[in-house]
Amino acid sequence: MYLVVEIWYPPGNEAKAGKLYLEILKKYPPDNTISETVIPFAVNSTPQGTHTFTVSNVKKGKLEDAIKNATQNMLGFSEIEGMTYQIRTYLPAPEAMRFINLQMPEQL
């Protein structure tokens, strides 16, 4: 299962968000017993501000812990006025295909 955490914050907060990210990372380093980081940090500028996201591959039985950690991390950004976030889960394609009684081709 993949956990995708997205953050949006208004223009002019880039340096503040970057500083908070480094502080949060130091205070709450990734826990490899819960998930493996696939994309540690990606950034996109938009007319409304900045959009960032992370992607982690959550270990079996650890989804609740992963969501708890992600939420704890997001609270660290709450001092940025106008900041919003979303935590979503995604099934890997082979697992999703099994739910509909199909199998992914070997070459994908």
Does residue 106 lie in a domain region?
no
Does residue 107 lie in a domain region?
no
Q: Write out pLDDT tens, residues 32-90.
A: 999 999 999 999 999 989 999 999 999 999 999 999 999 999 999 999 999 999 999 99
Long-range contact list for 89-96, CB < 8 A, 24+ apart? 89/1, 89/2, 89/3, 89/4, 89/58, 89/63, 90/1, 90/2, 90/4, 91/1, 91/2, 92/1, 92/2, 95/1
Q: Is the pLDDT of residue 107 over 80?
A: no
Q: Write out pLDDT tens, residues 5-37.
A: 999 999 999 999 999 999 999 999 999 999 999
Range of the domain at 42: 2-99
Does pTM top 0.85 for this prediction? Answer: yes
Provide the CATH number for the domain around residue 15: 3.30.70.260
Residue 108: per-residue pLDDT: 63
